[in-house]
Amino acid sequence: MRYYRESRMDTLARYRGVLTIVAIPVLLFLAVLLLSPGKSEYASSFNRSQPFSRVEYERTGATDKTERWAVVIDAGSTGSRVHIFKFLTGAGGNLELQFDKFDQLKPGLSSFADDPAGAAKSLKPLIDLAVATVPSSLQSSTPMMVGATAGLRLLPDGKADIILDEVRHYMRSFPFKFQDDDVKILSGVDEGAFAWLTLNYLLGHLGKPHTETVAAIDLGGGSVQEAFAMSREEAKSAPKADYVTHLRGGGQEYSVYVYSYLGYGLMAGRAAVLQEDPNGPEDDTHPCIHGGHTGEYEYGGKSFVAAGHDDGASHGECAVTVQNALKPQEKCGAPQIQCSFSGAWAGPRIPAVFYVSSYFWDRAADAGLVNDDKHISAKVQPGHFESAALEACPLHVDSLEDSFPRVQESHRPFFCLDLTYAYTLLTHGFKIPKNKEITLVKKVEYKGETVEAAWPLGAAINLLN
């Protein structure tokens, strides 16, 4: 039997009917595309660098994403602020921030010291906004917390506890997920831990090994806080358990060293340095104060003499005075090499990557180390603060503006002190080599937006994990 091999033309002829039926809709579809504008509305509005809206997720087919919400109220000394965070979670459980709806009101809870019920009810507009924002079907699974900071800590006679009890009672009338310990006064350690979580989340480091996260040092006015992740073995070596906070983020649990050095923020640090008497009781001048200035510095209800020498301030003498104020030789309950300053344990190793913020940024901007108008972060070295101090300290207070025009008038007498304090704190306090690169940070870029690395976002992440 002979087999007949069909030619290509015969095959096309045999299937021409089928091809015609298939080709007609394809040609119609192509015609529509050709007649349409070069870019569709969807193509022109879609931008992966921006937070997605719910509609955009549906249009991209991301139906495996789950909405999760968290409500965090930051009850500060001057007012209360609500952050309503929306996240999407994928199969791995990673949280993807979509937006942070924010509102604030005044006065703060501490203004209601004699009216605890009024303090609780003052939060109603903020909670009402959360009720209106979070989908009703998700409110019972949405955690809500109130973190009170400096203002309530200062109230006498247990008044803060009474206010917090009223807030707890009031919050039970709303549909959110809530436990009594979700209303509390945050310690400096709490703020430092949540801020560390925020920073590493925005940088994309959560979920990675602890060695790939960054350390954070925040120089406030009254205190300076350090936070970094360590191994479980390193955490077990802490002389006291409260040096380590356990946080969850990115599907991992981190052992985070957090310590708040109360009294060593920049404003408190000025007082500590001025309290040192390097020239003896017969000489009122101080090596950290610019020449030409005579006056007093007030902090914490006390006054300190702040007078400069006619020959100008001296960075070298000022640095020695700052070192003495830091008390680096105080014992910390561990080998002295592991002690930082003021009797605090610093851990068994120095972290690899540091992000420093707040007054570190402000004084760097004043010194011209970073362009505050253009940048949200900058790479510098601790030694750059020393170089700026060496230039600034000899200047008369009245001529300081010519070389450093950004320095506010009220800060000019203390500019040498501030720069020297920043340098000495980093190198002798936290033992960072003077030539090591660190990152000054004001804000962090996340999905094309600039976001402040503040504690409420970290608190929300911890709540949801």
Which helix (DSSP H) or strand (DSSP E) does residue 424 occupy? helix 415-424
The pLDDT, as a whole number, for residue 286 is 96
Poorest-pLDDT segment among 145-159, 237-251, 424-438: 145-159
Poorest-pLDDT segment among 13-27, 154-168, 298-312, 422-436: 13-27
The pLDDT, as a whole number, for residue 277 is 78
Burial class (CB in 10 A: 0-12, 13-18, 19+), 359: buried
The residues assigned a catalytic role are: 191
The pLDDT, as a whole number, for residue 87 is 96
Q: Which residue has the tokens 């205190």?
A: 223
Q: Give the DSSP per-residue string, 54-114.
A: HHHHHHTT-TT-EEEEEEEEEE-SS-EEEEEEEEEE-TT--EEEEEEEEEEESS-GGGGTT
Secondary structure of residue 126 in the 3-state scheme: helix
Read off the pLDDT of residues 293-338 as tens digits, 9 standing for 90 and up.
Answer: 999 999 988 999 999 999 999 999 999 999 999 999 999 999 999 9
The pLDDT, as a whole number, for residue 92 is 66
pLDDT over 90 (residue 291): yes
The residues, any chain, with a CB within 8 Å of residue 170's CB and separated by 6 or more, are 117, 120, 121, 123
Segment 364-389 mean pLDDT: 95
pLDDT over 80 (residue 125): yes
The pLDDT, as a whole number, for residue 91 is 63
Q: Which domains, and CATH codes, for the chain?
A: 64-186 (3.30.420.40), 195-465 (3.30.420.150)
The pLDDT, as a whole number, for residue 21 is 44
The pLDDT, as a whole number, for residue 320 is 97
Read off the pLDDT of residues 164-214 as tens digits, 9 standing for 90 and up.
Answer: 999 999 999 999 999 999 999 998 899 899 999 999 999 999 989 999 999
Segment 61-83 mean pLDDT: 86
**262 - beta bridge partners?**
223
The pLDDT, as a whole number, for residue 20 is 46
The pLDDT, as a whole number, for residue 65 is 84
Segment 82-111 mean pLDDT: 90
Structure tokens at 320: 């020695």
The pLDDT, as a whole number, for residue 408 is 96
The pLDDT, as a whole number, for residue 296 is 95
Residue 207, Ramachandran bin (φ over 0: left; ψ between -120 and 50: alpha; else beta): left
Q: What percent of the chain has pLDDT over 70?
A: 86
The C-alpha atoms of residue 287 and residue 311 are separated, in whole angstroms, by: 10
The per-residue pLDDT of the chain, averaged, comes to: 86
Q: What percent of the chain has pLDDT over 90?
A: 72
The residues, any chain, with a CB within 8 Å of residue 72's CB and separated by 6 or more, are 82, 83, 85, 144, 145, 147, 456, 457, 459, 460, 463
The pLDDT, as a whole number, for residue 33 is 38
The pLDDT, as a whole number, for residue 10 is 44
Most confidently modeled of 45-54, 321-330, 364-373?
A: 321-330
